């Protein structure tokens, strides 16, 4: 993910240098990737000093500070209390509550773990895309994009959702089998998403009960061979056959932010 601009109309910030270690308690040997969210620890977590670290560590998304601008490798990373070596500097884009972020609905996170959904079924010529979710209506205004199977490459707008199915605005052209893979693109004004394990982009998640990361959604987008980057439009894109498409979302993150709210006391 990356910052595209500020709600004030200002351009995206330039990166700043910070002391960064990708773990809280050890000299990090875990890769942390450019585009991953960054936080600082709370006041009660200073056993090894104070520094910037990976936002996915407990408590995840607390004291959000920025987006890492460069990769941290698996060696040469040290804590402030290391017996021999000083900490590594890493570049980070500072992230404010007014920063507009763009993230992709990726098929795999930066570490290569699959980020798509599976397990849905739908018969040919049916509008009922059978799934299981916790809360009805949460998928209205979103989209389903089939990655493979007989319906692979088709994009469908969702005009209703119950706990057992999502309603396609236009009926499926061919059957969807339970082993077929798909992406869920959230409604433009979504309130929660599921950041992937590397905290670099959005993981497709059909069930609202799993989406733990609060956002204020602004707009969703599509890009594909022959389809220039543009806003998703029900009148234009519903039931479109568009192989190799990519999808993006812009949003702000309303989590506690160190630049405006300070650092959590515990």
Q: Which residues pair with 216 in a beta bridge?
A: 252
pLDDT at 266: 77
d(CA 138, CA 108): 24
**DSSP code, position 101:** E
**So what's the pLDDT on residue 191?**
97
* Chain centre distance of CA 138: 17
Quote the distance between the C-alpha of residue 255 and its chain's center. Answer: 14
Q: How does pLDDT run along the chain (266 residues), one tens digit per residue?
A: 999 999 999 999 999 999 999 999 999 999 999 999 999 999 999 999 999 999 999 999 999 999 999 999 999 999 999 999 999 999 999 999 999 999 999 999 999 999 999 999 999 999 999 999 999 999 999 999 999 999 999 999 999 999 999 999 999 999 999 999 999 999 999 999 999 999 999 999 999 999 999 999 999 999 999 999 999 999 999 999 999 999 999 999 998 899 999 999 87
Q: How far apart are CA 168 and CA 159, in angstroms?
A: 6
Spatial distance between the Cα atoms of 107 and 244, rounded to a whole number of angstroms: 11
The tokens describing 159, both together, are 């005009």
User: How far is the CA of 195 from the CAs of 47, 56, 129, 159, 210, in angstroms?
Assistant: 28, 9, 24, 24, 10
Spatial CA neighbour of 166 closest among 122, 119, 212: 122
Peptide linkage before 59 cis (omega within 30 of 0): yes
Cα 192 to the chain's mean position, in Å?
A: 10
- Distance between first and last Cα of the chain: 28
Q: What is the pLDDT of residue 175?
A: 98
Structure tokens at 53: 């670290």
DSSP SS3 for 122: strand
Three-state secondary-structure class, residue 7: coil
Q: Are 237 and 227 in contact (CB under 8 A)?
A: no
Q: CA separation (Å) from 101 to 13, 53, 125, 178, 238?
A: 12, 19, 37, 33, 25
Task: Give the pLDDT score at 265.
Answer: 86
What angle is formed at CA 82 by the lines to CA 79 and CA 83, rounded to 5 degrees?
175
> What does the pLDDT read at residue 160?
98
Q: What is the pLDDT of residue 86?
A: 97
């Amino acid at each position: 993910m990356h910052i595209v601009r500020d709600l004030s109309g200002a351009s995206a910030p330039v990166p700043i240098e910070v002391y960064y270690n990708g773990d809280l308690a050890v000299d990090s040997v875990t890769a942390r990737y450019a585009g991953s969210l960054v936080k600082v620890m709370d006041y009660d977590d200073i056993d090894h000093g104070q520094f910037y670290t990976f936002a996915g560590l407990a408590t995840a998304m607390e004291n959000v500070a920025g987006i890492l601008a460069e990769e941290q490798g698996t060696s040469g990373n040290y804590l402030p209390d290391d017996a021999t070596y000083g900490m590594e500097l890493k570049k980070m884009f500072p992230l404010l509550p007014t920063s507009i972020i763009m993230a992709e609905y990726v098929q795999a996170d930066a570490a290569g773990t699959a980020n798509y959904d599976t397990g849905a079924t739908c018969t040919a010529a049916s509008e009922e895309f059978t799934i299981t979710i916790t809360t009805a209506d949460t998928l209205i205004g979103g989209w389903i994009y089939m990655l493979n199977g007989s319906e692979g490459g088709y994009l469908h707008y969702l005009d209703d959702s119950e706990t057992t199915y999502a309603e396609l605005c236009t009926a499926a052209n061919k059957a969807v089998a339970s082993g077929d893979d798909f992406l869920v693109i959230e409604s433009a004004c979504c309130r929660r998403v599921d950041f992937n394990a590397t905290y670099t982009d959005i993981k497709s998640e059909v069930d609202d009960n799993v989406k733990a990361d609060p956002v204020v959604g602004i707009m969703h987008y599509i890009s594909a061979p022959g389809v220039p980057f543009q806003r998703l439009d029900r009148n234009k894109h519903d039931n479109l056959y568009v192989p190799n498409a990519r999808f993006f979302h812009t949003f702000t993150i309303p989590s506690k932010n160190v630049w405006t709210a300070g650092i959590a006391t515990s």
